[in-house]
C-alpha cells in the first residue's frame, strides 16, 4: 500500500536495512573477524528457551 501512495520507502524504514541470513553463524562471524578485522561480541549462550 505504501508504494501506491507514491512513497519510495515503507514507513519505519529510512533507506536501506541490511540483513544477513546464513546457515552457519559461527563461520560467518569468523569470516567477518578475519576479513574486516571485526571484533566479535561474546556469545549469548544459544537460542532463547521458551
pTM (predicted TM-score): 0.46
pLDDT over 70 at 50, yes or no: no
**CA atoms in the 13 A half-sphere facing the CB of 25:** 6
1 vs 21: CA distance, rounded Å: 26
Q: Which residue has the cell 567477518?
A: 32
Residue 23, pLDDT score: 92
Give 4-42 pLDDT, tens digit per residue: 666 677 777 777 777 889 999 889 888 988 999 888 777
Amino acid at each position: 500500500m505504501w508504494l501506491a501512495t507514491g512513497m519510495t520507502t515503507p514507513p519505519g524504514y529510512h533507506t536501506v536495512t541490511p540483513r544477513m541470513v546464513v546457515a552457519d553463524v559461527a563461520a560467518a562471524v569468523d569470516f567477518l573477524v578475519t576479513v574486516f578485522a571485526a571484533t566479535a561480541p561474546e556469545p549469548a549462550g544459544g537460542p532463547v528457551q521458551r
